Structure 1
Amino acid sequence: MNPQLCLKMIITVWSTSFVVSVILCTLTVNLPRCGNNRLEHFLCELPAMVKLACIDTTTVEMSVFALGIIIVITPLILILISYGYIAKAVLRMKSKAGQRKAMNTCGSHLTVVSIFYGTIIYMYLRPGNSASKDQGKFLTLFYTIITPSLNPLIYTLRNKDMKDALKKLMRLDHESKKLKKNWNS
């Protein structure tokens, strides 16, 4: 990839994200709120804010859905297409060890992509009143905190040195529990 293409991609992603954010925030902030409402959420998430409106929010929900398809599904499709090309190239490799190593790497990546996109799709591409408040809180927590926290863990567990250190730590823990049990007996 050359620097010009990289710059064009960055500008496209940032400008598209900015425009979509301005559109969705404007639609959401301009919804009338009746009475003294309390937002029962961790963040001012768009679905939670839309639920506070005291008018029919079908137009806003349809706009969120349409923009969500563009913003969420398009990158996911591009990622899956690129993984299709990667899988095709890996299957043409002659070395079984090389194939296994490449598939392990892709497996880690696809795990992270699946967790992230799965929660985002469920959060933003579903009907407005189909989930409970607690479910929305959980999904928000999941894709903003848990998924990014799992990301380094998923990738480091692929590292042989990390695996060996973890096994050693587990053995030490097991041995110390046995020693403690024998000591108390």
Structure 2
Amino acid sequence: MHEIDKVIKAHKSVVDISDAGISIMALCFWFIIGIVLFIHIIKDRKTYKVSGFLLRILILILIILINTYLFNKISFYNLSISEDKWKTEYLKPYISSRPIHKELVLDLSQSFKKDDKIINVIYLENNQPKVHKIRMKVKDKNKKEKIIVMKVLIKNDAKDKNHLSYRTIRQSISSKYNNKVFYEPVLHISQDYKVIK
């Protein structure tokens, strides 16, 4: 199994857990209804006609099938994984294994245009770094120039040319963690540049 498949499968477990509370409540509800119906059938069995008795038995069988389905559904939940655990044990190692993309920054500014579309970014650390919204003109590896706007961590450590580094994923995991998001972007600028904080 590819590494991304493991990450997606673990994320599916995390998403399924959000269903667990509703499933457990539904199981309790149908279990109580089943017990009440069973007691009612036993207690009043001599007062029913055969058709009424059979109808109640069929309803009880249906309730038992619903409870069996819900119990099986709950037993397949992986309750040992939380979203934080998924991020640290699956997502972070996967993102760290992805290659770092570097794009040359030709120009940058903190003034924006109305039609600027902000690129989604995700930092995986629990304590979010101080990021700045920056508009950049970049040149990608195909020598194509484009304007991008994003919230980015800025480091004054560029040796020669300003550049943007980030990681991407090969395949979307969910609507939040998808292949259009920039993960851990860092704008490396020289000491000459000043950013308004």
* TM-score normalised by length of structure 2: 0.30
> Quick check: which one's helix share is greater?
1
Rg larger in 1 or in 2?
2
> Quick check: which one's strand share is greater?
2
